Amino acid sequence: MAAPGSGQAGMMAEMMLDHTHDPAAHCWVPGADAHPDFPVQNLPLGVYSIGGGSPRIGVAIGDMVLDAQGLPDLPGDVQDALRQPTLNRLFALPPAERTRLRHALFAYLTGEPAKHAPLHAVADCTLHLPFTVGDYTDFYVGIHHATNIGALFRPDNPLLPNYRHVPIGYHGRASSVRVSGTPVVRPNGQTKAPDAAAPGFGPCRRLDYELELGVWIAGDNELGQPVPIAQAWDRIGGLCVLNDWSARDIQAWEYQPLGPFLAKNFCTSVSPWVVTAEALAPFRTAPRLRSATDPKLLPYLANEADAAFGALSLQTEVALQSAAMRAANLPPVVLSRGDSADAMYWTLAQLVTHHASNGCDLRAGDLLGTGTLSGPARESFGSLMELSEGGKRPVPLPGGEERTFLEDGDTLTITVRAEREGARTIGLGTCTGTIAPAR
């Protein structure tokens, strides 16, 4: 099959592909071959339960969930990890074991149709947070977002001078990470309007979303032991869709000098399925946003493979449906569409390597957010703060409403797909949440 890129980059990328990426592969589960997100080339892992039963590991295939226990041809440590109620133990195993699982799943689902396969309609399942989240770190890789939001927070100093030298990030909060679908309670907080004499406390009035990708970390590095960039992809277990809900009024008042705190830790939503690094291999591409005139990367952040295909090209879409739209049977309206490769200045490998470069230990089940993914044009901005130009330009909604920031009852849904010529399209799925009133 055709590989992305050309020349050496194309050859290197092709080495990451195998028969499990064959776009012509046929799966016997009804509907799987035609499914937009979860054909047999994807095989994302997650945690589900049925009718109040205990959580179990499953694999999304079409509109079904395949229970992961009791699959044939797997070594004991993988079988054992698949009997756990979260993916932490599975993703602590060496990367070759996860590849082995992918190959076993692919063989099972493309071979002789199984008579009594443990398949459940996803509609009958409750999907859970796939990991016990150890730590959550949020980066700032969207250079257009950083420029746009920087201009709103710091008109004379939008993109700070360190931006092209060092991946910027902050430590977020793991306890408030929730699976897609969990209601998002409007936070209360301390805010101060620029012209007010003193701050006040109350419900956030500038509630926003942030379109991001989440990286689930695999494996462990000992404290003190960095992760060389050549090994960074071994530590990328898989990806999800992430919404870093943000209280812009709280953020503007609290963020100096230590960065975001309560403006961003009241809830972070993630999509339920972990789309593995192997499944995403066909969508690797050369980074597009680092130009020849940019500062030369420090050696620990650069290698040939990352320059050739360190980026990921994924298609993103953000849609909103208000309570009034829902009542009037109006479908969600698309607020923006974009491509992650047009938004990300830093690669995922650079984030992993930079995070561990001081000896910080990353552990299986840690979550990294990329930062808000905004493309160069308004049609591809990844937050309402940018779309409404800081609240100055309301976004019209069908039915006559408009939005500068999110209102109670709004449902915000982010969808991500991986699509390119010559490869089978796969999806990361959706990350959704509805705003509930402040308490």
Residues 240-279 that bind ligand LGMQ2O6W (CB under 6 A): 244, 255, 260, 264
Verify whether residue 120 is a known catalytic residue.
Answer: no
CB 356 within 8 A of CB 223: no
Q: Is 386 in the site for Ca ion (CB under 5 A)?
A: no
CA distances from 91 to 172, 275, 277, 365 (A): 21, 12, 12, 7
Among 88, 148, 251, 268, binds Mg ion (CB under 5 A): 268
Q: Is 71 helix (H, G, I), strand (E, B) or coil?
A: coil
CB 353 within 8 A of CB 226: yes
Reported as type and span, the H/E element at residue 125 is: strand 125-128
Among the listed ranges 47-55, 68-76, 77-85, 240-248, the one in contact with Mg ion (CB under 5 A) is 240-248
Angle at 265 between CA 358 and CA 199, to 5 degrees: 115
| Largest CA-CA distance found in the chain, in angstroms, rounded | 73
Q: Is 235 in the site for ligand LGMQ2O6W (CB under 6 A)?
A: no
Cβ 268 to Mg ion shortest distance, Å: 4
Name beta bridge partners: 311: 285
Residues 289-318 that bind Mg ion (CB under 5 A): none
Cβ 399 to ligand LGMQ2O6W shortest distance, Å: 30
Q: Is 140 in the site for ligand LGMQ2O6W (CB under 6 A)?
A: yes
β-pairing, 236-243 vs 268-270, is: antiparallel
Q: How far apart are CA 302 and CA 308, in angstroms?
A: 11
Identify which of residues 104 and 168 has a Cβ nearer to ligand LGMQ2O6W in the complex. Answer: 168
Q: Is 208 in the site for ligand LGMQ2O6W (CB under 6 A)?
A: no
Catalytic site residue from 35, 144, 145, 355: 145
CA distances from 347 to 5, 59, 305, 354, 385 (A): 17, 27, 11, 11, 24
State residue 65 phi and psi, 5-degree precision: -115, 125
Identify which of residues 69 and 157 has a Cβ nearer to ligand LGMQ2O6W in the complex. Answer: 157
Q: Is 61 in the site for ligand LGMQ2O6W (CB under 6 A)?
A: no
Q: Is 244 in the site for Ca ion (CB under 5 A)?
A: yes
Task: List interacting residues with ligand LGMQ2O6W (CB under 6 A).
Answer: 138, 140, 142, 145, 149-150, 153, 210, 244, 255, 260, 264, 371-372
- Active-site positions? 145
